[in-house]
Structure 1
Amino acid sequence: MSKQFGLGRGFDALLPTEVDKALLEDDSNRIQKLLITDVYANTEQPRKEFNQKALEELAESIRTHGVLQPIIVVQKNDKTYRIVAGERRYRASQIAGLDKIPAIVRTLNELREVEIALVENVQRVDLSPYEQAVAIARLQQQFSLKYADIAKKLGKAETTVNNIVRLLHLPEDAVKALVGKKITEGHARQILALKDNPEMQAQLLAHCIENNWSVRQAEQFVTAYKKGAHTAQTAKKSLVTQTSETKRLSVSLNAPVRIKRSAKGGTLAIGFTTDEDLQRILQALTTQSKSK
């Protein structure tokens, strides 16, 4: 699910590609060869589909080099073993025709300690929003937790957790921009709002970076598109027109102005700082009205 490339500071130490390092520490003497028939996948694992071509390629590598990294399992009462991490290697080993597979057997208490460590890492203040999303997804996958359970552990609202995880659906270029702090989480959410049109997502991302658009401008771009401006040119033109109107009125009144459009029209907000400032603006509006 996650994209692997130069992510934020310390990210690889937090979330390695396959399993958390904490699961493998000090286990050189704990690797066992288990009968593959005694091992089974976690039925509550969120990931249900695996790329068959990729599995075939991994199986061919296993035939040549063997399983280079042991899977992580927990022993059940019936002497079978449930996979905690490494289902892809397990499936590829089956395809390769292996009778046994290297595994590290963990206890439930050990897994609980790793879960606590991961929760604490998710709560680190130096993680980017995307890093938090990947960490939360890892918690869900490795420990079969529901987002509601994760939210409770993190002390966050479930909607907050769901919104964070949605960042995993960003296009790769947007992920790089978010992790590189070229756009904010607010910009990223507007890009996600255009998920049905990758071309428009790319256009919006470019505008946010190259033109230093605010989240509000990005939102206006999305709104223009969804109201019928179904090309980048017309959506941008709609936004530019509104921006021009706002600037012209702001200069005329010497006051901050915000225009918010809706399906039935919209609202016009004019800012002022003091009562004298308000009277000045009212006088300017009255004067302009009488001159027409």
Structure 2
Amino acid sequence: MAKGKAVLGRGLGALLPEKEEERPSFASTRLYDFKDRSRPGTISEVRLDQITANPYQPRTEFDETALEELASSIRALGIIQPVTVRAVGDDAFELISGERRLRAAQMAGLESIPAFVREADTEAMLEMAIVENVQREELNPIEVALGYQRLIEECDLTQEEVAKKVGKGRATVTNLLRLLKLPAAVQAHLRDGNLSIGHARALIPVDDDSARETLAQHIIDEGLSVRATEELIKKWLAGPETPREPKAAGGTPTRDDLVLRSLTDRLRSGLGTKVA
């Protein structure tokens, strides 16, 4: 896909025309002057049933409680900020950004919503959907990583270019992409907030997915800190070929030693093989 010279590192605002930044923000759709109802570059009143979801939306989970609260606010005050859409046919629009507002408006029983109509190709839609959500820090780490991966694969961007577009360091982008190498069960813990990025990064050097899953569950069960997790993984990786039985001073196994042996036994039982 051909790449244009996008403005880098400035968030969603840099990808939209200045006109949108200058648009008014009112508490009721009735206060908008809806002229040229669907002309690009204008704010239009669009029926909710004319808007389809953004297929490039990186967010996969929405907090129902938060949506209910937003819906209550909309019932009382109306839509404060228009959503952004693109026209895809006669009286048909595709959402670019503002899915929470759109969903909450549906819950609030609105029939239409103020929408900023703009022109955008597929690459621009993907970029804006990801940049907006990442800038607001509303995505979980896996959603962010998948968004970065889509920018790389579908927009033909390098990691460096992705980093500039989302305003992050190259190392941040690289580290998040590495999370996608973890097994699905561990990624699910990240999505649910049971593990932090630091915990997950510590598991990456472990080269067996079953071991990663077992270690991840142990980290959660024991409530280990990131530092304690790093120490546990360090001992795990440094273990000998025989079952681990290192001794503390005085010949008594330490708690970590017992944990490592317990984990080894669980893995050996599950895999039916000898675990280093």
The TM-score with structure 1 as length reference comes to 0.47
**Which is greater in Rg?**
1
The TM-score with structure 2 as length reference comes to 0.50
- The one of the two structures with greater contact order (alpha-carbon pairs below 8 A, sep at least 6) is 2
